[in-house]
Chains A and B, each alone.
Chain A
Amino acid sequence: MDIFLQQIINGLVQGSIYALVALGYTMVYGIMGLINFAHGEVVMIGTLVTITVAGTLIKAGMPVVFAGLAGVSTSVLVCVALGWGLERIAYRPLRNAPRLTPLITAIGMSIVLQNLAMMIWGRNYLTFPSLLPKINFEVAGAHFTAIQVIIVVLSAATMGGLLALIYRTRLGMAMRATAQNPAVASLMGVNINRVIAAAFVIGSALGALAGVMVGTYYEIAHYQMGFMLGLKAFTAAVLGGIGNLAGAMLGGVLLGIIEALGAGYIGDLTGGFLGSHYQDIFAFIVLIVVLMFKPSGLFGEKTGDRA
């Protein structure tokens, strides 16, 4: 029971991060049917930029709080610029190309960004500066940290903000309308290019936040970290029903929990043959199972909202 509760908590934390990243995939897919495979790399760059900015400022003697805030805001700005630039430079010229073309371009962009990051930050693992105090709690035999609580609360608040943006504002309505029928949305006066750019910008900002969270949580970063994180977040988006906002959120949390429980019990299940470092297989089992049995995800097209 202890392991169970513990793993649920761990899964919830990891899942919140997946959810934030999954939203970036799902928003872009919802609006233009593109799987932006470079999104994981945007998140990675968010982590690395924070390391550089916050790390440098802390070394220069700035109080950790301010250094952290400066790191987070720079990272959001850089990721937003990156997401916007990707759309502008790599995807917009291919708007009317066959679907496979932008997809291949996305994979290409992901490789470009990884190599760029390798050139800037090197091949070694980097230590993420401690931005938050290490406080531990224990409830009902399960341990968790202040960082975990902050990650979950901040993710939930961010996602609440996103839902409010999409369902309560004019831009949000334009985004939903564009996802449903871009030609008619433009007849209503919606500038489709702006809406698509907004999807990239918002998704990248969420990705930057997720990048900071990943760094704070694991305290380590690497130029290749975006690949696995991106793949899992993509799995979460597919699990929830790609294109669907609520689906990405729930898919992320669910995937985090499945993975954590899997990691917690895989040793027992295989008689010690496989250890918890095999936890990555669960994400891919989930992906394969969803694609085989319910490719439209938990929230099939009909009930939800693509935006």
Chain B
Amino acid sequence: MLEVTGLHVAYGGIQAVRSITFHVNEGEMVALIGANGAGKTSTLKAISRVIDAVGGDVHFCGEKISKIAPHHIIRKGIALVPEGRGVFPRLTVAENLAMGAFLRHDKAEIALDQEKIYGYFPRLKERAAQLAGTLSGGEQQMLAIGRALMSRPKMLLLDEPSMGLAPIMVQKIFEVIRIVAAEGMTTLLIEQNAKLALESSQRGYVMESGEITLTGESASLLNDPKVRAAYLGE
């Protein structure tokens, strides 16, 4: 469904992503793990066209999307939950969700989806009229995920949803991520928390200094001595 071929990202002289190739099949959750600075966020930003790649191609559902305008990405069915959540701090929770549905006009269906998200995250419903900037980090992460789902995407790109959150929050959020994935959402999950990511996904890629160094079934990566040594603290 998502095919990334030879993607190359640089910031001036800094090579952040060096010609990586990977893919995500329909209905699959794939983890992309790696240490801080490995180039994970740059990869997602290039896919979602927030930044321009220096080289390489991205195809989604057979269509080349590596040259389209950033505001057309969501039209293709890709929703990004950005690193650091990126909620609109001075919009209310409900308005943030409405922004997720910005391109949709099916009011009744939008209302249904909103209720569904409030079902996943009852906290958001309680705080619907509150400004997003007043939420805790965990609640903002819930909101960012909810907002992404409001576009009814074909594919979800998650950039470190566990970052900076208390374990209990991480648990709640991953519960929902797994439910959504189980319902058939194609998901690319980026994480520094390798254990969590590999336990949630079917396949994984390991990224180091801008390159993919290892790939395989998540279960076997979890048992790989190199992965265990480098990312699972053993």
Contact = CB atoms under 8 A, between A and B. Distances in A.
Contacts of B75: 189
Interface string A182-199: 011111111110000000
A185 B48 CA distance: 12
B117 to A, nearest CB: 15
Interface stretch (A81-89, A169-177, A232-240, A279-287): A169-177
A188 B90 contact: no
Nearest to A306: B90
Interface string B74-85: 110001101000
A304 B131 CA distance: 11
A219 interface: no
Contact of A188 (B69, B89, B100): B100
A296 interface: no
Interface in A157-182: 170, 173-174, 176-177, 180-181
B71 interface: yes
Give the interface size class of chain A: 20 to 34
Given A170-B102, A173-B98, A184-B86, A190 B71 contact: yes
Nearest to A301: B90
Nearest to A180: B88
A186 B90 contact: no
Given A181-B86, A188-B151, A173 B50 contact: no
A188 B86 contact: no
A192 B151 CA distance: 18
A176 B98 CA distance: 13
Contact of A173 (B71, B74, B80, B99): B99
Interface string A102-143: 000000000000000000000000000000000000000000
Contacts of B72: 189
A188 B208 CA distance: 30
Nearest to B45: A183
A218 to B, nearest CB: 38
B232 interface: no
A304 B69 CA distance: 31
Contacts of B110: none
Contacts of B35: none
B56 interface: no
Most buried by B among A183, A187, A191: A187
A177 B91 contact: yes
Contacts of A177: 88, 91, 99
B103 interface: yes
Contacts of B102: 170, 173-174, 188-190
A190 B151 CA distance: 13
A183 B71 contact: no
B88 A187 contact: no
Given A181-B86, A183-B50, A188 B99 contact: yes
A304 B70 CA distance: 28
Contacts of B48: 187
A182 B91 CA distance: 14
B73 interface: yes
A198 B75 CA distance: 22
B95 to A, nearest CB: 6
B2 to A, nearest CB: 16
Contacts of A170: 102
A187 B82 contact: yes
Most buried by A among B73, B90, B95, B147: B90
A30 to B, nearest CB: 11
B88 A191 contact: no
Contacts of B91: 173, 176-177, 180
Given A176-B88, A176-B91, A191 B71 contact: yes
Contacts of B99: 173-174, 177, 185, 188, 190
B189 to A, nearest CB: 17
B90 A173 contact: no
A189 B151 contact: yes
A170 to B, nearest CB: 7
Most buried by B among A177, A304, A306: A177
7 contacts: A183-B70, A185-B88, A186-B71, A187-B50, A187-B73, A189-B71, A189-B75
Give 8 closest A-B pairs by Cβ, nearest first: A189-B103, A184-B86, A186-B70, A189-B74, A186-B71, A180-B88, A188-B102, A188-B99
Given A183-B70, A188-B151, A191-B71, 13 more contacts: A170-B102, A173-B91, A180-B88, A181-B86, A184-B86, A184-B88, A187-B74, A187-B80, A188-B99, A188-B147, A189-B102, A189-B103, A190-B99
